[in-house]
Amino acid sequence: MIEVVTQFKQGCFKAAFIFLICLISMAAQSQALLNNAPKGALVITQSDWHSQNTQYLANPASLMKIFTATLATETLGKNYRFKTELAYDETSLNQGRLTGPLTLTLTGDPSFTQKDLHTLLMTLAKAGVKKLDKVEIDASRYQGHAWSLGQVWNDHGICFAAPTSAAMINRNCVFGNLKATKPGQVAHFYQTPNSPLTVENQVVTIEANKAKGCQVLLKVLGANHYRLTGCIDEKRKTLPLGFSANEANTFFAHIFMQELILLGFGSEIEISFIDQAPSWLAKTDKSVKRISHHSAPLTKLVARMLKRSDNLVADALFKASGHQYFLSENAGAASFETLDAYQKGSLALMSLLDKNQIDSQGLVVRDGSGLSRENLLYATSLYQVLELWLSHPKFVWLVEALPIAAQSGTLKNRESLKHDMLKGRVLAKSGSMQGVVNLAGFVQVADENKGLKLRPFVFMVNQFSKSKAVKPAKFSVEELSLFKFEAGFLTQGFRP
């Protein structure tokens, strides 16, 4: 009996010793990892292998799209499609002329294009409508601003921050370019023909030896009216440009009128925007004719949003989710009618988090894209959402919609993920803006019992400052340090 007790004590001592060695090893690994942390930055990690500074709120940038994907799945459903609809009362059609209004109802489809509009109008013509007197556009679905609170003002006018509203076409964006001419001359400017935007060009070409610090500036002059100033290096062959609308309804109406004239519906058609749907649209009898266009299903829209970090799709889904939440929850009381679309999306998200016992206290959510500088999240809340993706069948499909390290989307060329151990084995969403470099998702590891296992993680770096890379180097010293730090954190996730 004494011998058995002695062996037991020895076994316990060995186990405790091994455990102590493991703790020391883990501490050493964590300290080695922290030694590579960017100087002066706030670094937050949340995972089952390394966590630090989780008590701090941080700007998520495009990690907001993880929340948006979850909210859209819950509120709209995987099969949701945006609908754009033409409608008219057939009783007002006389020998091909529609004397009553043609109504176009817009719901904020971020994928709707001029080609889609052309197809709708062609179908209208085939139905026997040849001439129009009046068109009413209902783009009243969303209240409030087309941009979120806290969005940087000088992003306006640039395509990646195009306005999100019920009226959207061609991504509310027009493309063009600048080409250098001879020094002292105005650069050559090109934009898409028949553009809904007016862009004045005052950019001057300058000699290469004087071009250091030269930049092109965009000034907003009015509704869909811009001016380009500054300078361009004479050696610069082409500078691609993309301009967004700053007045979405006017932008849409311009393109709509072009299509109406092109298809012969008339050149003096009265186009107006209405605040609510006309009563006759609610009729169910056969006299009301409808022609509809539907977007791709939610699954494809979310995949584009996550893989390409598509801001327009993100905010469109965020607004649509808020709108649907207030309809389905019977939350359309008078006190809520004055809320703008972003506020409704935020409240819908908070409700979802509370429902799934995810901490929402203290979070600041201004939009679904992450463009707002006012967004603030805890890494723990993000981590819990990622755990929800794994535990709830409704959300598990979202994992496969994420970009894959060194293979797809925004992770295809991410420098920190070029490590052989990480290629193809990290599925995550990136989030970046000035001073912010974030990543959240899953590492895929081998498990003796389950085969492959997904381990969620959140990696957030705020207040990151970097110097300019010195040629021929591609990255600055601070960026190289950050890449090493991020890769080190992720590779630890493959250890037991």
What the block records as the tokens of 257 is 């009128």
Instruction: Pick one of 3.50.80.20, 3.40.50.720, 3.30.1370.160, 1.25.40.10 as the CATH number of 83-144+248-295.
Output: 3.50.80.20
- Which spans in 263-367 are helix H? 298-308, 311-328, 334-337, 341-355
Q: What is the DSSP letter of 38?
A: P
Q: Which residues on adjacent β-strands are paired with residue 87?
A: 103, 290
The torsion angles phi and psi of 182, rounded to 5 degrees, stand at: -80, 150
**pLDDT on residue 31:** 54
- Which spans in 190-274 are helix H? 248-262
Per-domain residue ranges for the chain? 38-78+299-492, 83-144+248-295, 167-244
For residues 123 and 106, what is the distance between their CA atoms, to the nearest angstrom? 17
**pLDDT on residue 470:** 78
Q: Which residues of the chain have pLDDT under 50?
A: 1-2, 4-5, 8-9, 12-13, 15-27
Specify whether the CB–CB gap between 416 and 437 falls below 8 A.
no
Please report which helix (H) or strand (E) contains residue 458, including its range.
strand 451-462
- Which spans in 50-138 are helix H? 64-75, 114-126
Specify whether the CB–CB gap between 136 and 274 falls below 8 A.
yes
**pLDDT on residue 298:** 98
What sign has the CA pseudo-torsion 116, 119, 124, 130?
positive
For residues 275 and 429, what is the distance between their CA atoms, to the nearest angstrom? 38
pLDDT tens-digit map of 445-471: 987 776 789 999 999 999 999 998 877
Q: What are the percentages of helix, strand and coil residues in the chain, rounded to 5?
A: 35, 25, 40
E-only strand ranges, 161-238: 173-179, 188-191, 198-201, 204-206, 216-222, 225-233
User: Which residues make Cβ contacts (< 8 Å) with residue 291, sequence separation at least 6?
Assistant: 85, 86, 87, 120, 123, 124, 127
Fold agreement (38-78+299-492, 83-144+248-295): no
What number of other Cβ atoms are within 10 A of residue 134's Cβ?
Answer: 14
Please report which helix (H) or strand (E) contains residue 97, including its range.
strand 97-98
Q: Which residue has the tokens 């590891």?
A: 445
Specify whether the CB–CB gap between 128 and 96 falls below 8 A.
yes
For residues 393 and 261, what is the distance between their CA atoms, to the nearest angstrom? 50
Torsion, Cα 201 202 208 210, to 10 degrees, reads: -150
- CA-nearest of 401, 416, 425 to 305 is 401
**pLDDT on residue 8:** 39
For residues 347 and 82, what is the distance between their CA atoms, to the nearest angstrom? 21
What number of other Cβ atoms are within 10 A of residue 30's Cβ?
Answer: 17
User: Which residues make Cβ contacts (< 8 Å) with residue 430, sequence separation at least 6?
Assistant: 62, 309, 403, 410, 411, 414, 438, 439
- CA-nearest of 123, 136, 120, 133 to 84 is 120
**pLDDT on residue 139:** 97
**pLDDT on residue 447:** 75
Amino acid at position 160, single letter: F
What the block records as the tokens of 125 is 């013509």
User: Which residues make Cβ contacts (< 8 Å) with residue 13, sequence separation at least 6?
Assistant: none
What the block records as the tokens of 427 is 């599925």
What Rg value do the Cα atoms of the chain yield, rounded? 27
**Domain 38-78+299-492, what fold?**
Beta-lactamase (3.40.710)
The torsion angles phi and psi of 360, rounded to 5 degrees, stand at: -115, -5
Specify whether the CB–CB gap between 401 and 307 falls below 8 A.
yes
pLDDT tens-digit map of 397-440: 999 999 999 999 999 999 999 999 999 999 999 999 999 999 99
Mean pLDDT of the chain: 91
